[in-house]
């Protein structure tokens, strides 16, 4: 309680795909309190988006929930903190004119509408530019001759936008910046040669519209009185607090799993799934399936990103819940999830001929601009709940496996691979089946459930508390010195079962293609 009243805590807020989470940690990086707000993207005129009004109402609701929980748990109001960090979904397209008016709807990472631009820039740069990257969205808007592009004065990500409004500073953390435009890790800034190529291609100066890049621990501004009122309309929250560089959810996931050093990696699995592997050396060539991004301290990272993960699992569990409700049976949602996840371990190793695709949206790794969730089975398939659940979980990581096999072919080596996100919430299940899919041990830390909000709170603490010249890697070594967790080795039987499933999964992509074309 003393750390709260003395303003010695650190606040981290992350705007995820389905939840805006706020966490408060103490000087030992332990969770003090948390709050959250549920929200959903909307498909508007063919674009996956969130309104900026929803951004602010959601942030205020999440912070209000945190503040109320602090009051309930400790009997004191939350008035001041030592530092704040803002994180959010990476990539996407948020553009503003010289008067700070939004010029186009927020286009999120989930959109797969920039293939023409992404392909052209990849060829021009000799560097993979995925469809969801901000530069791909900008170039596609230019190619489409959208009326707003001539008025673009500032382009940023969701985290960069929130940070700007809270502090007045148009800056971005290097990890988040690496989803806007390629980064030169030698200088921790946008790649100058590629910037010149784009400027020559379009007669535009990206330096004029991009946020300035900041490394982890750099000064990135302070909470203004207007920013404090935006976050906490009650007026309780005091202005003047240090705000660390804003980061993307990939970077905060790396921090939350202590995966920022070479030969470490993490898998974030929730609405989407992505693996982040910190490299010892560059890959031998450009791969369309592999994104090159950075850690929050600028080290090169190979990223395998899949748009779809747990959404189809959630939909099926909701169906099971509804079915029980018809008969007047009510089950605690957490218990329902855990029970059904555990059913997956009772299924046939190869899912008994039950095949599912979790493609709610497009999946660039397998060449899909759109998706159609599917369940396919032969008449003689072993169609039961256990095999449905095992197939749903295998499907959630099937596309990830395709990308990770490329890194395996490049002889990328890992000392540790850590998982976090809702996929790993039920003990053992997601961890065991992920280990089987990737053929490598998977660890989950006790703190992993706090995810990116905790990660950005740690980055806020690092910015406020690090000793002179202390690296992020050294700081995290202290944070995680006594961290406990579990590690699961690949089970040979599960490995063989997943391999069999993947043969059917790969062959069945033709059915998914037909579904997209026909339905």
Q: 126: helix, coil or strand?
A: coil
Check pLDDT > 70 for residue 416.
yes
Q: How confident is the model at residue 415 (pLDDT cuts 50, 70, 90)?
A: confident
Over residues 254-284, the pLDDT tens digits come to 998 899 999 999 998 888 898 999 998 888 8
- Going from the C-alpha of 305 to that of each of 67, 269, 409, the distances in angstroms are 34, 10, 17
Q: Residue 136 domain-assigned? A: yes
Over residues 451-465, the pLDDT tens digits come to 789 999 999 999 999
| DSSP code for 305 | E
Dihedral class, residue 291 (left if φ above 0, else alpha if ψ from -120 to 50, else beta): beta
Q: How confident is the model at residue 447 (pLDDT cuts 50, 70, 90)?
A: low
Over residues 118-145, the pLDDT tens digits come to 999 999 999 999 999 999 999 999 999 9
Check residue 152 and give its pLDDT: 98
Check pLDDT > 70 for residue 236.
yes
Over residues 467-485, the pLDDT tens digits come to 888 999 999 999 998 888 8
Q: How confident is the model at residue 449 (pLDDT cuts 50, 70, 90)?
A: low
What is the domain range of residue 16? 2-245
Q: Residue 230 domain-assigned? A: yes
Provide mean pLDDT across the span 211-219: 97
Do residues 476 and 260 lie in contact, with contact meaning Cβ atoms separated by under 8 Å?
yes
Check residue 482 and give its pLDDT: 83
Q: Residue 151 domain-assigned? A: yes
Check residue 422 and give its pLDDT: 85
Q: Residue 195 domain-assigned? A: yes
Check residue 448 and give its pLDDT: 57
Provide mean pLDDT across the span 488-510: 97
Share above pLDDT 90 across residues of the chain, in percent, rounded to a whole number: 89
- Going from the C-alpha of 222 to that of each of 55, 64, 227, 490, the distances in angstroms are 20, 20, 9, 46
Q: Residue 432 domain-assigned? A: no
Residue 363 sits at φ, ψ, to 5 deg, of -140, 95
Q: Residue 84 domain-assigned? A: yes
**Closest to 490 measured CA to CA, from 442, 426, 458:** 442
Check residue 404 and give its pLDDT: 94
**Among 214-218, 264-268, 362-366, the range of highest mean pLDDT:** 214-218
Q: CA-CA distance, 238 to 229, in Å (whole number)?
A: 9
Check residue 450 and give its pLDDT: 63
Q: Residue 320 domain-assigned? A: no
Do residues 19 and 449 lie in contact, with contact meaning Cβ atoms separated by under 8 Å?
no
Provide mean pLDDT across the span 86-101: 97
CATH of the domain at 66: 3.30.420.40
Check residue 445 and give its pLDDT: 84
Check residue 282 and give its pLDDT: 83
Do residues 166 and 243 lie in contact, with contact meaning Cβ atoms separated by under 8 Å?
yes
Return mean pLDDT, the chain: 95
Q: Residue 172 domain-assigned? A: yes
Residue 115, burial from CB neighbour count under 10 angstroms (0-12, 13-18, 19+):
middle
**Closest to 458 measured CA to CA, from 297, 225, 346, 311:** 297
Q: For residue 139, give both structure tokens.
A: 């170039």
How many independent structural domains does the chain possess?
Answer: 1
Check pLDDT > 80 for residue 33.
yes
Residue with tokens 């949206």: 361
DSSP letters, 225-276, are HHHHHHH-TTS-S-S--EEPPPEEHHHHHHHHTT--STTEEEEEESSSEEEE
Length of the chain: 519
Share above pLDDT 70 across residues of the chain, in percent, rounded to a whole number: 99
> Which has more confidence, 153 or 283?
153
């Amino acid at each position: 309680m003393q750390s709260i009243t003395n303003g010695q805590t650190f606040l981290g807020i992350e705007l995820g795909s389905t939840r805006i989470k706020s966490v408060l940690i103490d000087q030992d990086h332990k969770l003090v309190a948390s709050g959250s707000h549920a929200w959903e993207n909307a498909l508007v005129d063919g674009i996956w988006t969130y309104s900026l009004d929803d951004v602010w109402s959601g942030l205020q609701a999440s912070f209000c929930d945190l503040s109320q929980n602090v009051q309930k748990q400790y009997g004191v109001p939350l008035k001041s903190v030592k530092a704040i960090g803002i994180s959010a979904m990476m990539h996407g397209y948020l553009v503003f004119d010289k008067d700070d008016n939004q010029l186009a709807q927020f286009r999120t990472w989930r959109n797969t509408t920039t293939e023409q631009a992404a392909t052209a820039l990849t060829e021009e740069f000799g560097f993979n530019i995925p469809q969801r990257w901000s530069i791909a969205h900008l170039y596609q808007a230019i190619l489409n001759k959208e009326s707003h592009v001539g008025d673009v004065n500032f382009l940023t990500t969701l985290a960069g936008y929130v940070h700007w409004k809270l502090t007045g500073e148009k800056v971005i953390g290097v990890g988040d910046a690496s989803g806007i435009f390629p980064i030169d890790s030698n200088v921790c800034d946008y790649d100058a040669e590629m910037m010149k190529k784009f400027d020559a291609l379009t007669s535009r100066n990206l330096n004029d519209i991009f946020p300035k890049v900041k490394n982890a621990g750099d000064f990135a501004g302070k909470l203004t009185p207007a920013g404090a009122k935006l976050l906490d309309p009650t007026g309780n929250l005091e202005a003047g607090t240090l705000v660390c560089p804003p980061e993307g959810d990939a970077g905060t996931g790396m921090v939350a799993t202590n995966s920022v050093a070479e030969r470490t990696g993490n898998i974030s699995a929730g609405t989407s799934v992505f693996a982040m592997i910190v490299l010892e050396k560059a890959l031998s060539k450009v791969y369309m399936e592999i994104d090159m991004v950075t850690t929050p301290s600028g080290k090169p990272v190979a990223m395998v990103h899949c748009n779809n993960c747990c959404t189809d699992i959630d939909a099926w569990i909701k169906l099971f819940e509804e079915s029980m409700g018809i008969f007047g049976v009510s089950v605690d949602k957490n218990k329902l999830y855990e029970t059904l996840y555990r059913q997956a371990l009772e299924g046939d190793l190869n899912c008994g001929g039950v095949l599912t695709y979790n493609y709610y949206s497009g999946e660039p790794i397998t060449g899909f601009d759109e998706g159609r969730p599917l369940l396919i089975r032969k008449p003689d398939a072993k169609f039961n709940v256990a095999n449905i659940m095992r197939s749903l979980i295998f499907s959630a990581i099937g596309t990830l496996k395709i990308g990770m096999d490329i890194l395996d072919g490049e002889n990328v080596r890992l000392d540790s691979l850590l998982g976090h996100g809702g996929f790993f919430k039920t003990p053992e299940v997601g961890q065991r089946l992920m280990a089987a899919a990737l053929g490598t041990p998977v660890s989950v830390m006790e703190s992993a459930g706090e995810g990116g909000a905790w990660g950005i709170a740690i980055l806020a603490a690092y910015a406020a508390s690090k000793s002179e010249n202390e690296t992020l890697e050294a700081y995290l070594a202290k944070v995680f010195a006594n961290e406990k967790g579990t590690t699961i080795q690949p089970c040979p039987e599960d490995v063989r079962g997943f391999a069999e499933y993947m043969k059917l999964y790969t062959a069945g992509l033709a059915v998914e293609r037909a579904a997209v074309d026909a339905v």
